[in-house]
Structure formats: structure tokens, C-alpha cells
Amino acid sequence: MAAVSLHASAAVAPVASLSTVQSSRAIASSHQIARAGLRVPSLRSASVRPLRAARITCEAAGTKAAAGEVTDATFKKLVLESPTPVLVDFWAPWCGPCRMIAPLIDELAVQYAGKMACYKLNTDDSPGVPTEYGIRSIPTVLVFKGGKKVDAVIGAVPKATLVTTIDKYL
């Protein structure tokens, strides 16, 4: 029985931390412990590999929707025919400053829900509307009211600048 207690700690050590000799002793020891009627944790359970499922969380539960997507095909209906003012963020996936203000646009969509619609238009996928409105630099945020462009903010600006612009048209 002394041999069982001598190697019991080795049987539960992570496999990655054991040498080949220690691993074979740990496995032999675990068989001796099992024969003695004791329960031994599996060496597989001592794996150092992280569980992926443990890192996945759902943050969407209970949150409001962020800014919607608009395209050349949906622009007229969603933006120009909207009964409320509309903010449109013209962006591209390769644009660093566009990625910087994207969370701000999503925050504004939640903050002004019901008062103003907020959309994002990918200029790579929908080049027609940016051409029509003379968008030559991104990010560009346009504000529409009554189907007409009433204001523009060009570049990555602080949230306060966007809030000031929006508040003029509510």
C-alpha cells in the first residue's frame, strides 16, 4: 500500500509536466490505485488545453440593436423616406478610422433609438450612394432629415461632436 501513496500525486499531475518515465509510473500507479478500490482522476482531465466553450459568452441578451446596415438598394426606403432624422456612417472594412468610430455609431443608435435611425453603409459593397453624395473621404457621417442631406461630419471625431450634430436636428 506504501507504493500506492508514493505515486498518488503523480497520477493527478498534468501529463505535459511529466517525463516519459514519470508518465509510465503514474499510469502504473493509477492502475494500482484503481485495483485498491480508489477513484483516480483521468490523466486526460488534467489537460492544459483551455475549454473553448468556457470562453464563449452571449452579450446580446437584453441589449438593444446597434446601427443597421443600408445598401444602394435599400437607401431610398430606409433613409430618404424615413419619417425621423437618419444618421448614415459611410465606412469600409479596410479603414482604420472607420473601425474606430464604429462603436460610437452603435452607441448612438441605442442612445437615440426611436428619435433617430442610424445606419452604416459599406462603401466597397455599395459605391452608388457615396458617389451620388460626393463622398471622397471615409469615415463620413451624413445626417438626413425629410429626405435631404442636412449635415456632414468627415473623419474620426469624438462622440461629443456627433452628439452635437445630431441634437441640432431632433
Domain boundaries, given as residue ranges, for the chain: 2-55, 68-167
* pTM for the structure as a whole: 0.63
**HEC letters along 80-112:** HCCCCCEEEEEECCCCHHHHHHHHHHHHHHHHC
**Rounded mean pLDDT of 136-143?**
97
- State the pLDDT at residue 12: 47
Name the maximum alpha-carbon separation found in the chain: 87
Q: 78, 86, 95, 142: which is the annotated catalytic residue?
A: 95
> Counting beta carbons within 10 angstroms of the beta carbon of residue 133, is it exposed (0 to 12), middle (13 to 18) or buried (19 or more)?
middle
In this prediction, residue 145 carries a pLDDT of 97
pLDDT of 117 above 50: yes
Residue 39 confidence class, pLDDT cut points 50, 70, 90: low
Yes or no: domain 68-167 corresponds to CATH 3.40.50.800? no
pLDDT beyond 90 at 3:
no
Active site residue 98: yes
Mean pLDDT of 68-78: 97
Q: Which of 11, 18, 98, 138 is catalytic?
A: 98
